[in-house]
Amino acid sequence: MTSASEKLPRQPRCILITGGAGFIGSNFVHHWCNNYPEDRVVVLDALTYAGNYKNLAPLAGHKNFRFVQGDICNRPMVEALFKEEPIDTVAHFAAESHVDRSILGPDAFVRTNVVGTFTLLDSFRHHWEHQGALENFRFLHVSTDEVYGSLGPDDAGFSETTPYAPNSPYSASKAGSDHLARAYYHTYGMPTLITNCSNNYGPYHFPEKLIPLMCINILLGKSLPVYGDGQNIRDWLYVEDHCRALDVVINQGQPGETYNIGGNNEVKNIDLVNKLCELMNELAPELPVRPAQELITFVKDRPGHDRRYAIDASKIQTELGWTPAETVEGGLRRTIEWYLTHRDWWQPLLSEEYQAYYQKVYA
């Protein structure tokens, strides 16, 4: 018999990663492939504007890696995938995720985030039941702290028991998908896990989001649009820290539980932009405008703009032993260095469609 002190060998997984060509998803794919080379990894991504197959190019041709282009709302395709592959784990990242776009066109957010999540959950439930409802199966639903609404300046951070109070079409659609994932555990006993994270940043981040937008605009000598008075506060989580946390949740988390993941790095938007300017002044000697701070421009505030987000990550720290390793200073430096050395990645993304969207939001 195995003694209590001996660890049983880890059984390889077959993991389906939805949205695996997007920002957080692709970072997670690389993390999983690097740490579990014996696992079968299947990536499903629709390759919409924010999904980029180049993010996964280094994995092409690996025997345990498969990429499928497809829409999570396409139930026949999703069900066929569960029949073709011995999938026992789903890491669900696929989502419309930008608040500004949800204000301009909320219907896509309801379709992908609510209907798409339901399609995956229900297809996986039938697959799980057909396989005998095995205990090692997992469905990880990756969500956001924005479902909890907005905090006052002295409020405690969002915990797993904070009531939901979404304030944008994006956060409302993510709240709906969270509730579905929770319901599938309580109704069917399906082993779902939910994580709610704070703002991520790092490599492969589509340029419409705050940090890559500022980095690229500084390099191009364009204005740096800051909403309102710039005093909105966000907790920033380096994407590699997030991937480590999700790894721990899949392998050690308790089915039916929610885990909040934060970086313990609360920063005002204007302070973050100024820090990016300082680092760009240091790391990019040939800027079109120097100092970069001269490019900062305040623009009309976003409708329904939440004032402050903060995460109480004590549950995942206490129960699963995860803590963030990266500081804002270190993470921003690493992120800027990545954008400086990967112009061939971000320059093609500044398309006519992107420029038209940019004018709509910031003009």
Q: What is the 3-state secondary structure (H, E, C) of the chain?
A: CCCCCCCCCCCCCEEEEECCCCHHHHHHHHHHHHHCCCCEEEEEECCCCCCCHHHHHHHCCCCCEEEEECCCCCHHHHHHHHHHCCCCEEEECCCCCCHHHHHHCHHHHHHHHHHHHHHHHHHHHHHHHHCCCCCCCEEEEEEEHHHHCCCCCCCCCECCCCCCCCCCHHHHHHHHHHHHHHHHHHHHCCCEEEEEECEEECCCCCCCCHHHHHHHHHHHCCCEEEECCCCCEEEEEEHHHHHHHHHHHHHHCCCCCEEEECCCCEEEHHHHHHHHHHHHHHHCCCCCCCCHHHHEEEECCCCCCCCECCECCHHHHHHHCCCCCCCHHHHHHHHHHHHHHCHHHHHHHCCHHHHHHHHHHHC
How many residues would you count in the chain?
363
Q: Which of 45, 71, 96, 145 is catalytic?
A: 145
Q: Which of 146, 240, 247, 257 is catalytic?
A: 146
Q: Which of 88, 96, 100, 170 is catalytic?
A: 170
259 catalytic residue (yes or no): no
**From CA 192, how far away is CA 256, in angstroms rounded?**
5
Would you tell me the crossing angle of helices 75-84 and 117-130 to the nearest 10 degrees?
Answer: 30
User: Cβ distance 19 to 121 under 8 Å?
Assistant: no
145 catalytic residue (yes or no): yes
146 catalytic residue (yes or no): yes
User: Cβ distance 216 to 224 under 8 Å?
Assistant: no
Q: Which residue numbers are catalytic?
A: 145-146, 170
